Amino acid sequence: MDERQHDTPPPWHAMGPDEALQRLDSGPDGVSHEQALQRLAAHGPNLLLQAEGRPWWKRLLEQFNNILMVILLVASVASLGLGHALDAAAILGVVLIIALIGFVQEGKAEHALDSISDMLSPKANVVRDGKRRLIDAETLVPGDIVLVESGDRVPADLRLIEAHRLRTDEAALTGESEPVEKSTAPVDVGVELGDRHCMAYAGTIVVHGMAHGLVVATGARTEIGRISELLRGVEKLKTPLLRQIDRAGRVLALCILAAAALTAAFGVIVHDQPLGEMFMAAVGLAVAAIPEGLPAIVTIGLAMGVQAMARRNAIIRRLPAVETLGAISTIFSDKTGTLTRNEMTAQVIWLPEGPIAIDGVGYEPQGDFHALREGQRNPTPLDLDAHHALRHFLKVGVLCNDAELAEEHGRYRIHGDPTEGALVVAAAKAGLSAPALRGDHNRQDAIPFESERQYMATLHDVDGIPCLLVKGAPDRLLTMCHRVRGDQGDMPLEHDEWQSHLHELSSQGLRVLALAERALPGLATLEDEHAEQELVLLGLVGLLDPPREEAIAAVKQCQSAGIRPVMITGDHAVTARAIATQLGFAQTERALSGHEIEALSNDDLKSVILDVDVYARASPEHKLRLVMAMQAHGGICAMTGDGVNDGPALKRADVGVAMGIQGTEAAKQAAEMVLADDNFATIVGAIREGRTVYDNIRKTITFLLPTNGAQGLAIMIAVLAGGLLPLTPLQALWVNMVVAVTLGLALAFESAEPDIMQRKPRDPDAALLDLFLLWRVVFVSLLLLAGVFSMFTWVLDTSAGEIELARSAAVNMLITGSAAYLINSRFLTASSFSLGGLFGSRPVWIAIGAVMALQLAWTYLPFMQVIFGSAALGPAHWLAIAMGSVAIFVVVELEKWALRRLHGGRDAHGRGSKARRDHAEAR
Ligand code: ATP
């Protein structure tokens, strides 16, 4: 361990902010870039040691912890006891190979999940060289000035140097569940961690307010680093599907064991067979029939789904979400930034003397201002010097604001909230510089914007008088204003007139803010009550935030996939409906507001929820109630969230989705999935991927089980009939190993069927293996069984009883027949009988090629013949095997065709002939 970790840290909590800054050679502008680099080299990255995963040897040993391995080990010892030393060694060898394969596959799946956790690394807002920037929290160094606000996870131990109503949840550190109030005043040296109110500790969550803090410790030297290690990354919970498969697998294994024992007993008693031989037959039956490869293949399928989703910007935090995604029937989505681009541009400012249009789109501070008369834009730009009211409005918009405009590599960017950024850009278009204005009018106190409060207030020194500046949602602010500031001084506020201005802007889909002010001589600290009354309204500003193009396409996709998109926004109802219409939502004539939701009982909400797709002025508690109401209808819901208070709704939803860019750490922790690009279309993409994964798992299972079924039945029938075994235990082991690790895996790579988003969502309660699939398993088991027996008896008859040759032919028939059935299995109901169906999948043909190469080695290599008792086949045998395999393929295709017919023009996915035609064409 690093020696420096034993140093006793200075009592940062007992010294004033200035002294702390001095000791770390920092200041309000933070450290310089060079200093940061030096300190990073000296102190190391701001990382907690990750807990080690399971060590490799433990993972390897765990491979032996299953029924099949135990049976095989017993069989190996028994073979030795019966004098079959070669068999014993071969079984042991195969056991080791199976363990190794399982070990490697599991390692790959774990690696896939581990690499995802790197994508979840947190960011921190720092001030370096006097400039604010967003950096990886990993690169923080002592002396950095960090800005934290509600929802953030504190990235390092901080001595607070400025705090506004800061409250943090320190449960992770102290176990205290109530949030703790923070301030900048030093405390006594000896106080406990939980009472050091001027410190914010790494790993705790800011639940309210905002603060600037000086980083005093990073990485393992933070308080949390000293006591424990925080784990971040994908939680590898067993998914419901895996549990279902495990359970079913155990029951199946026990049944098979019982059947094997009974069959062997029957052989001994009825056919007078030797006990040793019957024991080996029972082992063979168990080995042949137990689908041991299945859980591993399903795990790999899920892990591959996680990787595929990550490539499309959806980062899965909890593995079960991969399955649940495929069953989602409703997506509750935030509007701003998810359905829209969150690139706000101020387009209209409405002052008491009338509206003004602003030119330009985006963050580039270029554009003129034009007066608007009855919707017509006056072509001559306004003379800004003469327009005092407009300049004042823009100035207030910049002061009551935390965003910064920066030019980086010739492009303009906003640091901070885009809504606020739009106001900074608008002011810059009028030549007003935000840093200069903020320098001239010192901010003395602030109430930060919170969705629940719907406004932000700041206290400034304007010409020596403390002045309160407020900006926020107009419907809220209008209730807080009693006058309006006109050209000729203050006038009484006409509520109806301003409501109609608000309506006019909102119905164009603009997000509207109101600005107001109030002189408060003698005031030094702000309270809510100061801001919430006797304000003087300055005007409204309408911000354009266009829908994302890809969200429009995704909404359309949802509709054909039987998924309901629902918008929940903090914005005004009229704005929300206008945007919902632009996005192509189904029901936009009505929007329910947060107030209306509050007035409804849970039952009433349940009865209206199916008729309303737009919820406005809604807060996190409303989100929770909406999810619950939809779940009461049996809906499987995804819910997006970004704020600190969205936690309960995200947890309650079947899949909680946090925003990767705009989202707070608190929201990410509560979510099952994080969107790296905050994009609604990404959720729909993940659903498509989830459906594909589930589909492929069903295909894999339907493919694998018949091989087991056919082998098990073949041995059982042989023993019951008192005949020769068509394959030995060791050969059964070989078949399972080869088929499971090569052929079965290929289906996990299958891409989505073209109609995957034209099906209704899957019923979450439906069994994985429904009647249709069970039928398919039995049907193909019998087909393969027929192939194996025909081949076995034919070769036995024609070769004058060469048992080894006959078994070789039977094993090759089984594996080649399975390979043919693999092509059938690419589509459960749709036809594989087309160029695309036959040759469309590379993995399938690579797997078939690999299996054939293995089979040739198995059949012809002398050492294989010694181990497995195989024998060289002649051309006639291969011809017969090939014909048998083609026959199996054709018969399964005929069965699919008959089933499609039986469903009266609709296949088992419930899609009609048009969808099937598209499907066929796409292939
Ligand atoms: P969505 O839920 O669609 O993402 P949102 O969460 O961004 O919307 P809020 O942030 O709660 O919605 O905003 C609600 C209203 O509050 C906005 O319509 C706007 O009028 C006002 N508002 C938004 N951001 C600010 C801000 N930074 N300062 C003051 N008022 C704001």
Nearest CA to ligand 1 atom 6: 570
Nearest CA to ligand 1 atom 10: 451
Nearest CA to ligand 1 atom 18: 571
Per-residue model confidence (pLDDT) at position 194: 83
Percent of the chain at pLDDT exceeding 90: 48
Quick one: which atom of ligand 1 is closest to the CA of 339? 3
Among 383-397, 723-737, 775-789, the least confident range: 723-737
What is the pLDDT of the chain when averaged over all its residues? 86
Per-residue model confidence (pLDDT) at position 431: 94
Quick one: which atom of ligand 1 is closest to the CA of 617? 14
R_g of the chain, CA atoms, integer Å: 35
Residues 88-124 have pLDDT tens digits of: 887 788 788 778 877 887 777 677 666 666 666 678 8
**Residues at CB less than 6 angstroms from ligand 1:** 334-336, 417, 419-420, 449, 451, 454-456, 471-473, 511-513, 569-572
> Where residue 922 falls among pLDDT bands split at 50, 70, 90?
very low
Among 78-92, 430-444, 766-780, 799-813, the least confident range: 78-92
Q: Is 724 exposed, middle or buried (0-12, 13-18, 19+ CB in 10 A)?
A: middle
Average the pLDDT over 612-616 and give the result.
95
Per-residue model confidence (pLDDT) at position 691: 94
Which of 705, 712, 772 lies closest to 743 in space, CA to CA?
705
| 3-class DSSP state of 441 | coil
Residues 631-645 have pLDDT tens digits of: 999 889 999 998 878
For the chain, the first-to-last Cα distance in angstroms comes to 59
Cα of 473 from ligand 1 centre, angstroms? 7
Residues 442-487 have pLDDT tens digits of: 888 888 888 888 999 999 987 778 899 999 999 999 999 999 998 7
| 3-class DSSP state of 881 | helix
Average the pLDDT over 866-876 and give the result.
92
Residues 652-711 have pLDDT tens digits of: 999 999 998 888 888 888 889 999 999 999 999 999 999 999 999 999 989 999 999 999
Quick one: which atom of ligand 1 is closest to the CA of 514? 20
Those residues whose C-beta lies under 8 Å from the C-beta of residue 181, and which sit 6 or more positions away, are: 166, 167, 197
Nearest CA to ligand 1 atom 30: 472
Which of 684, 699, 638 lies closest to 844 in space, CA to CA?
699
Per-residue model confidence (pLDDT) at position 910: 42
Per-residue model confidence (pLDDT) at position 243: 74
Cα of 512 from ligand 1 centre, angstroms? 9
Probe target for ligand 1 pocket from 341, 417, 419, 572, with the most ligand atoms within 8 Å of CB: 419
Sign of the Cα torsion 244, 246, 249, 250 reads negative
Cα of 529 from ligand 1 centre, angstroms? 21
Cα of 526 from ligand 1 centre, angstroms? 21
pLDDT at 343 over 90: no
Element holding 149 (H helix, E strand): strand 145-149
Per the CB < 8 A criterion, the answer to whether 142 and 160 are in contact is no
Nearest CA to ligand 1 atom 14: 570
Quick one: which atom of ligand 1 is closest to the CA of 454? 16
Residues 262-291 have pLDDT tens digits of: 998 998 898 888 888 888 888 888 888 887
Per-residue model confidence (pLDDT) at position 626: 95
DSSP H helices, 507-619, are 528-531, 549-560, 573-583, 594-599, 602-608
Per the CB < 8 A criterion, the answer to whether 743 and 848 are in contact is yes
Provide the angle, in degrees to the nearest 10, between the axes of the packed helices 842-860 and 803-825: 180
Strands (E), 362-510: 369-373, 376-377, 404-408, 411-415, 443-447, 455-462, 465-472, 481-486, 489-492
Cα of 749 from ligand 1 centre, angstroms? 43
Average the pLDDT over 251-272 and give the result.
88
> Where residue 756 falls among pLDDT bands split at 50, 70, 90?
very high
Percent of the chain at pLDDT exceeding 70: 93
Cα of 86 from ligand 1 centre, angstroms? 75
Pair type for strands 180-181 and 145-149: unpaired
Nearest CA to ligand 1 atom 4: 336
Q: Which residue ranges form the domains of the chain, and what is each CATH number?
A: 3-50+122-227 (2.70.150.10), 237-309+686-750+769-922 (1.20.1110.10), 314-339+548-678 (3.40.50.1000), 345-544 (3.40.1110.10)
| 3-class DSSP state of 802 | coil
Nearest CA to ligand 1 atom 29: 472
Token pair of 289, please?
């029939």
Per-residue model confidence (pLDDT) at position 389: 92
pTM of the model: 0.80
pLDDT at 253 over 60: yes
DSSP symbols for 246-313: HHHHHHHHHHHHHHHHHHHHHHHHHH---HHHHHHHHHHHHHHHS-TTHHHHHHHHHHHHHHHHHHTT
Sign of the Cα torsion 292, 295, 299, 305 reads positive
Probe target for ligand 1 pocket from 331, 341, 451, with the most ligand atoms within 8 Å of CB: 451
Q: Give the catalytic positions in this structure.
A: 334
Cα of 494 from ligand 1 centre, angstroms? 24
Probe target for ligand 1 pocket from 332, 339, 449, with the most ligand atoms within 8 Å of CB: 449
Greatest mean pLDDT range, 178-192, 309-323, 442-456, 774-788: 774-788
Helices (H) and strands (E) in the chain, counts: 34, 28
Average the pLDDT over 723-737 and give the result.
85
Token pair of 300, please?
């790999």
Quick one: which atom of ligand 1 is closest to the CA of 572? 18
The C-alpha angle 681, 305, 66, rounded to 5 degrees, equals 155
Quick one: which atom of ligand 1 is closest to the CA of 400? 28
pLDDT at 649 over 70: yes
What distance in Å separates the CA atoms of residue 2 and residue 730, rounded to the nearest whole number? Answer: 54
Token pair of 101, please?
């394969």
Strands (E), 390-447: 404-408, 411-415, 443-447
Cα of 571 from ligand 1 centre, angstroms? 6
Nearest CA to ligand 1 atom 2: 569
Probe target for ligand 1 pocket from 502, 513, 650, with the most ligand atoms within 8 Å of CB: 513
Cα of 477 from ligand 1 centre, angstroms? 13
Nearest CA to ligand 1 atom 26: 449
pLDDT at 914 over 70: no
Nearest CA to ligand 1 atom 17: 571
Token pair of 873, please?
């086949």
Average the pLDDT over 510-539 and give the result.
89
The DSSP symbol for 750 reads P
Residues 557-600 have pLDDT tens digits of: 999 999 999 999 989 999 999 999 999 998 888 999 999 999 99
Per-residue model confidence (pLDDT) at position 239: 65
Per the CB < 8 A criterion, the answer to whether 622 and 594 are in contact is yes
Secondary structure of 593-654 in the HEC alphabet? Answer: EHHHHHHCCHHHHHHHHHHCCEEECCCHHHHHHHHHHHHHCCCCEEEEECCHHHHHHHHHCC
Probe target for ligand 1 pocket from 453, 454, 583, 617, with the most ligand atoms within 8 Å of CB: 454
Cα of 449 from ligand 1 centre, angstroms? 8
Q: 575 vs 801, which has greater pLDDT?
A: 575
Nearest CA to ligand 1 atom 24: 419
Cα of 567 from ligand 1 centre, angstroms? 14
